[in-house]
Amino acid sequence: MISLQNIEKVYRTDTIQTLALNNISLDVAKGEFLSIMGPSGCGKSTLLNIMGLLDAPSKGSVRIDSQQTNSLGDKQLAAFRNKKLGFIFQSYHLINDLQVLDNVELPLLYRDTTAKQRRELAAQALEKVGLSNRMKHFPTQLSGGQRQRVAIARAIVGRPEIILADEPTGNLDSVMGNEIMDILTGLNQNEGTTIVMVTHDENMARKTHRLVRLFDGSQVQ
C-alpha cells in the first residue's frame, strides 16, 4: 500500500545541516496497523510527513498503491492526498471558530459534493466517533479526548484508505488515550483502514500489528 525506497531527508539552514532520515526503506501492507517509535528528534514526524506527501524526501521514492508520487505536481499531489489520506495530529489542528460539524466537513470542500451530502457524511463520521450530540459545539467547548475524536471524524469523513496519526494520544490521559486507540483499532479491523501511528507510548504501540523503531534517522527495528 505504501512503499518507501531509500528515503533520505536533509534539512539545511545557514549554519547547520541535519540528516533527519538516513536511507529508510519501508513497506506498509494494505490493512496493516503500524506504529513508529524512537527518541525525540530521531525523525518520526519527518517520516510520517513524507509518507503523507506533506513533505518531499531529499532522495528516494514514495509509492502509494501503484502511484509513484515523485512524478506528481503540487496540484495533483494535493488531490491525491485529499482522496487517499487522512491525518490526525497530537494537537488536533481544529479550527476553533468553526463548529464541530463544519470542522469535519472541511476535507469534503475540495471534492465534488453538495452541501447536503457534506452535512450527511460529516454527521455519519461524528456518529462513528460517538459525538453526534456535539455537532453544534465549538472545539473550545470540548475536552481533549472529544477534540481528538472530532479530528478523527475529520480524518475519516472522506473515507481515506490510509490514516497517518502523529502522536494522537500524546496530549491525553490514559483513559482518553485508550478511547482513541479503540476507535483507531475499530477503523482498522472493521473498515480495513491502513494506519501508521507515531507514538511515545509502548502500551499503545503494543496494540498495533508491527513496530518500527528509529534512532538518529535510521531504522533500528
Ligand X SMILES: Nc1ncnc2c1ncn2[C@@H]1O[C@H](COP(=O)(O)OP(=O)(O)OP(=O)(O)O)[C@@H](O)[C@H]1O
Among positions 40, 133, 140, 190, the unique one binding ligand X when judged by CB under 6 A: 40
Tell me the number of residues near ligand X by CB under 6 A: 12
Q: Are 88 and 151 in contact (CB under 8 A)?
A: yes
Q: How far is the CB of 116 from ligand X (least distance, A)?
A: 40
Among positions 7, 44, 64, 183, the unique one binding ligand X when judged by CB under 6 A: 44
Amino acid, res. 143: S
- Asked if 23 interacts with ligand X (CB under 6 A), we say no
Sequence-ordered list of residues with C-beta below 8 angstroms from that of 98, at least 6 positions apart, any chain: 106, 138, 139
Among positions 6, 27, 29, 41, the unique one binding ligand X when judged by CB under 6 A: 41
Collapsed DSSP state (helix, strand, coil) of residue 25: strand
Among positions 5, 18, 58, 61, the unique one binding ligand X when judged by CB under 6 A: 18
- Asked if 149 interacts with ligand X (CB under 6 A), we say no
Cβ nearer to ligand X, comparing 7 with 156: 7
Cβ nearer to ligand X, comparing 30 with 93: 93
Reference 45, options 86, 6, 87, 13; nearest CA is 87
Q: How far is the CB of 37 from ligand X (least distance, A)?
A: 9
Amino acid, res. 55: D
Alpha helices in 23-99 (DSSP H): 44-51, 74-84
Of 91-110, binders to ligand X (CB under 6 A) are none
Environment class of 213 (CB within 10 Å of its CB; exposed 0-12, middle 13-18, buried 19+): middle
Positions touching ligand X (CB under 6 A) are: 11, 13, 18, 20, 38, 40-46
